[in-house]
Amino acid sequence: MSPLNIFLLLTVVALFAGLYRVFEKFGEQGWKALVPVYNFVVWLKLVKRPWWWIFLIIIPTVGFYMIAILLVDLANYFGKRRFIDHVFAIFGYFIFVPVIGFSNKEKVIGPKPREKKKRIWQEWGEAAVFAIIAATLIRTFAFEAFTIPTSSMEKSLLVGDYLFVNKMRYGAKVPSNPLTIPFTHNTMPLTEGTPSFLDWVELPYMRFPGWASIKNSDIVVFNFPEGDTVEVNHSGQSYYALVRQYGRARVHDPNATDEGQNAEGIAKPFGHIVVRPVDKEDNYIKRCVGIPGDKLQIVNTQLLINDKPAYEAPNQQLGYIPVDVNDDFQRIMLERGIEYDGRVHLTKAEYELLKPHARMLIPAIDSVSPAMPSVIDIFPHDTNYRWTKDFFGPLTIPKAGATVQLDMKTLPLYRRIIDVYEENELQIREGQIFINGQAATSYTFKLDYYFMMGDNRHNSLDSRYWGFVPETHIVGSPSLIWLSKEKGSGLFDGFRTQRMISLVSPEGLSSSFLWPFLAIVAALIGWNYFRSKRKEKEAKASSKKPAKK
């Protein structure tokens, strides 16, 4: 167990040990503080909050805010009513609660008296400000909601999965641009390109310690490495890919269009260019297949890491071209929601299931040919590297402190690292490389880098297209699917109940906890109902007893 894990465990133990004594000071039995969920029900009763808040407490992210309110309420009941007391109660809970619980000087004196002069809009305003601050801190440093936008991880993670991303696992980043409108990422609501942040204050890259490092096969959320520049009308495409395809002059020309060559077949204008800092680049989610120092190669779709076959997710897919299919083939595709766009994307299990119902399922492999023109889409976008998405590498993933030799052949592999990610001045003069004004024949990396790929291998724009992901771009680890809806479904239909309230594992998904979760909620509602009925009977019985003379 890591030191951070031990520290977090001790803080939780300290909290509930303190609550044990706090409950006793309220006249409740201390053991109730040690029963999960029930302890919060009792806590709500003690500080006179509605019992149904328990449903908010057990919702990820929202629960952190609700517990913060309970800690403030606790502080008020013990006479700690200054702003600094409230801050300490929230962020130093593991000290604050044991102190008020075990100290003989601390007594329960009752709730904070209502200020008669304070108007209701003032009370609501203060509550709203507190809620915004608390939720923003949680969203920035702990958990953030994320939606799967594309099918690059299909079958492992589906379009329409709503996730909570754990930013603490690999260490939460300090925002480089803190002047941001709350609950926005990089654009204003209902706009496509209006920035939701100001660049007046820019902080250097800083990250809190995490309790884990990224490992091969981890599913990771990260900032899109080529997302520092965006052509707003083509925000779903890489700006640099557009430049390679159309030329920089055309992409920056507001009078030029793509002539309907995009996926929709409708001509879209160019020229609306925006620049974004790292933490405001779009969020992507892929599987990490290569960590710093790994040797990576793809041979005929087989991924090799350090010359050995890499981990393959159970739901990993490849593309196939079906030939002469029968009715059963069509039926199975429909039942399993397999789409056909000239090819089908199948897992190994689906391939074996469909194989008997077609004359052939031809693997849709991009082969390497000496006569093949340079593939401008594939990293490193250079004629010296005639790689494809199915024949790629060998390539060593850069590691902090490692040194590589630089010449005009190897430079394309590391140009963006040197120039953009590690912020050096890179120049080429008469065939010679200069870094920060000095001639260079080698380079030592300052950061660690990763190689990301989607499980839907033939329908994923990933590191095979735009290269390495620097450590500065790592956001976090997907932890929980709290909601899942089918693509294009209505507001009240299309729910995938078998995926809701599910933990995300390296395989993509663990079993759903939806029904146990609903069972607990139903049990709590029933328990509260019968408890209230029992109290009503007791009250009626006591009212019928004759008064003592």
Q: Which residues pair with 348 in a beta bridge?
A: none
Cβ distance 491 to 298 under 8 Å?
no
* One-character DSSP codes across 89-112: HHHTHHHHHHHHHH-TT-----SP
Residue found under tokens 């801190």? 137
Kindly report the pTM of this predicted structure. Answer: 0.75
DSSP assigned state of 34: G
Per-residue pLDDT of the chain (549 residues; tens, 9 = 90+): 456 557 767 888 888 888 999 999 998 888 888 888 888 899 999 988 888 878 777 765 566 777 888 888 899 899 888 888 888 888 888 899 999 999 888 898 887 665 545 566 655 666 666 667 677 777 787 788 888 777 788 777 777 788 888 898 898 888 888 778 777 787 887 777 788 888 777 888 888 888 889 999 999 999 999 999 999 888 888 999 999 889 999 999 999 988 877 767 788 899 899 988 888 888 899 999 999 999 999 999 999 999 999 998 888 999 999 999 899 998 998 888 888 888 899 989 889 999 999 888 999 888 876 555 545 789 999 888 889 999 998 999 999 999 999 999 999 999 999 999 999 999 999 889 999 999 999 999 999 999 999 999 998 899 999 999 999 999 999 888 877 887 777 766 777 877 777 878 776 666 666 677 677 767 766 776 677 778 778 777 777 666 555
Find how far residue 12's CA is from the centre of its chain.
Answer: 25
Q: Which two tokens stand for residue 122?
A: 């003032």
Q: Is the dihedral of CA 237, 238, 241, 246 positive or negative?
A: positive
Q: Which amino acid is at 235?
A: S
CA distance 177 to 185: 11
CA angle 463, 469, 472 (to 5 degrees): 165
Tokens (6 digits) for 234: 């083509």
Angstrom distance (rounded) from CA 109 to CA 111: 7
**From its phi and psi, is residue 467 left (phi > 0), alpha (psi between -120 and 50) or beta?**
left
Collapsed DSSP state (helix, strand, coil) of residue 475: strand
Asked if 394 and 297 count as a contact pair (C-beta separation under 8 A), the reply is: yes
For 25-57, what is each residue's pLDDT tens digit? 998 888 888 888 888 899 999 988 888 878 777
What are the CB-based long-range contacts (under 8 Å, 24+) for 37-46?
Answer: 37/520, 37/524, 40/70, 41/524, 43/19, 43/70, 43/74, 44/70, 46/77
**Measured CA distances, 209 to 3, 213, 214, 310 (Å):** 10, 10, 13, 28
Give the span between the Cα atoms of 131 and 196, in whole angstroms. Answer: 20
Report d(CA 299, CA 320) in Å as an integer: 17
What is the Cα–Cα distance from 300 to 547, expressed in whole angstroms?
A: 91
Does residue 170 contact residue 212 with C-beta atoms inside 8 Å?
yes
Domain ranges of the chain: 3-121, 302-363
Instruction: Count Cβ neighbours within 10 Å for each residue of 4-20 and write b for 16 or more, e otherwise.
Output: eeeeeeeeeebbbbbbb
